[in-house]
Each structure stands twice: as C-alpha cells, then as structure tokens.
C-alpha cells in the first residue's frame, strides 16, 4: 500500500511539473488540461504494468514536457530552424525571415521625413492614443496566448504610433499599420513555422522502430498481447486485423500509453 501511495504521489508531482511548464511556455490552458489528462492515463497504465514513470516520460522530464509543448505551438528560437550546414544559406534564411524589419526600418523614417503631415492637432492626439493603447493591448494579449497571431498587429500599431507622434497624416498611419502587420505576419510565420529539425523521441516514444518478439498472441479486438523488447515485457497491440502469434519478430510503429503498437517484420 505504501508503494502504491508513493507511486501516485510521484505521478501527481510529474503531472503538476508538466502543467506548470506548459503554462509557462504559453501552451493554451485548454490544451494543458487535455495533455495532463492524457499523461495521467499513460502514467497510471504504466504503473499498472509495474513500470516506472520513466518508461513514459524518459529520464529528462523537462525534455519530455517540451516535446509535448512543441506540438501545440511553433518553435520559438533559431534552434528550430532547419540547419543546412551552409552558412550562406543560413544567412539568406535570416534575411528573408527578418526582411520585414528591414523594410520597416527604412520605410518609417522616410515617411516621417517626406510623408504628408496631419494639420488637425486633435486628430493627431486621438490617433496617438489609439495606436499606443492598441499596441499595449495586443502585446499583452500575445503574452497570454500562443501562436504569434497578435504580435504582428502589435508591431503594426507600434509603427503607426511612431508616425502619429511624428505628425504624419492619419491615412498614412492606417496604411502603415495594415502594411506593417501583413509584413510582420508573413515574416514571423516564416520564422516560426520554418521546416524544423526532427524532434527526437522521448520517453516511451524512443522505442519506435525498435524490434521485439511476440510472447503472447496479439489480438487487436480482444486487447490481448505481449512482446519482449530487450529484457522487458510490454503489453502490445496492432493495427492489423489478423492475430500475431508468439515467436513472431515485430517492429514498434507507435506507443500509446504503456502499450506498444507493432507490426510483423517482412
């Protein structure tokens, strides 16, 4: 009984740590609840099979939590870019992704110097507040959500606010807001969703593509079956309709909870 209580406390702590990490890294709360429920079922299933939590989450809980979190938000650093090993190509990628910043850095000063000025002082003051408040609200909203959706519009509002404080005409401010938002959206999405390096399997997922031997007939409909993987016994299932008999060599194609999904080797 003491062992069971200890295991449940460990599972509870793992879930709490993962939830905290997911929330801190801007995974939507609705997703966090779903992920926590799924993780709990995997951990409890593993415990029922006398397996340690490491069989599910692996030796590094932070890496496991990040692997799950990355499925619900785009990569947020240059480490997520596809590394071609070509410095020139990498620089070209950076210039392409940050091209919108270069355009804004050139266009805004030019508009301040040569753009039409707004003669109505009241309108200028009102639009200054509109852009400043809008930029602040969008920036806060971006910090509370995931996906970089609000950030481009916050950038557009900042660019328009700079023009408003410089006294540039309101139609130009609006045009810059729209243009800068579109450019920022394009640039950020290009950066965030650039082809990523393959994420290495963590926890039980590391067994995908491993070979095992069937020790108990695997029947998908009955939910029966076991395999020997290295020196461990695992519950197993298959996506095939026919049974897989003992002694058959199989390949792991997926992991669901503490159960391996296998198919016979050809």
Question: Does the global pTM surpass 0.75?
Answer: no
Question: What's the pLDDT at 75?
Answer: 44
pLDDT at 205 (0 to 100): 63
- Along the 266 residues of the chain, how does pLDDT read in single tens digits? 334 434 555 888 888 888 888 888 877 777 788 788 888 877 887 788 778 888 778 788 888 888 777 766 544 433 333 444 444 544 555 555 567 677 777 788 887 777 788 777 677 788 889 999 999 998 888 887 756 778 889 998 998 899 888 888 888 889 989 988 888 888 777 665 553 433 344 455 677 888 999 999 999 888 889 999 877 788 889 988 889 999 999 999 988 766 889 999 87
Reduced 3-state DSSP string for the chain: CHHHHHHHHHHHHHHHHHHHHHHHCCCCHHHHHHHHHHHHHHHHHHHHCCCCCHHHHCCCHHHHHHHHHCCCCCCCCHHHCCCCCCHHHHHHHHHHHCHHHHHHHHHHHHHHHHCCECCCHHHHHHHHHHHHHHHHHHHHHHHHCCCCCCHHHHHHHHHHHHHHHCCECHHHHHHHHHHHHHHHHHHHHHHHCCCCCCCCCCHHHHHCCCEEEEEEEEECCCCEEEEEECCEEEEEEECCCCCECCCCEEEEEEEECCEEEEEECC
Residue 1's pLDDT is what?
Answer: 35
């Amino acid at each position: 009984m003491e062992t069971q209580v200890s295991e449940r406390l460990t599972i509870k702590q793992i879930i709490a740590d993962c939830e905290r990490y997911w929330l801190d890294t801007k995974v939507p709360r609705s997703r966090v609840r779903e992920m926590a429920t799924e993780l709990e079922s995997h951990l409890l299933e593993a415990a029922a099979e006398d397996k340690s939590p490491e069989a599910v989450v692996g030796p590094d809980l932070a890496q496991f939590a990040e692997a799950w979190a990355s499925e619900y938000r785009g990569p947020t650093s240059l480490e997520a870019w596809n590394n071609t090993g070509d410095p020139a190509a990498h620089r070209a990628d950076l210039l392409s992704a940050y091209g919108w910043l270069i355009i804004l850095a050139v266009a805004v000063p030019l508009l301040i110097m040569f753009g039409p000025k707004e003669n109505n002082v009241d309108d200028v003051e009102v639009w200054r507040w509109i852009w400043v408040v809008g930029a602040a609200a969008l920036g806060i909203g971006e910090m509370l959500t995931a996906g970089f959706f609000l950030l481009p519009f916050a950038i557009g509002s900042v660019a328009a606010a700079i023009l408003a404080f410089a006294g540039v005409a309101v139609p130009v401010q609006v045009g810059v807001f729209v243009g800068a938002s579109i450019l920022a959206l394009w640039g950020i999405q290009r950066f965030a969703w650039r082809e990523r390096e393959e994420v290495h399997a963590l926890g039980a997922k590391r067994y995908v593509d491993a070979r095992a031997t069937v020790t108990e007939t695997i029947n998908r409909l009955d939910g029966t079956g076991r395999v020997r993987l290295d020196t461990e016994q695992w519950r197993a299932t298959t996506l095939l309709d026919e049974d897989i008999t003992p002694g058959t060599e199989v390949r792991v194609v997926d992991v669901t909870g503490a159960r391996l999904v296998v198919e016979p080797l050809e």
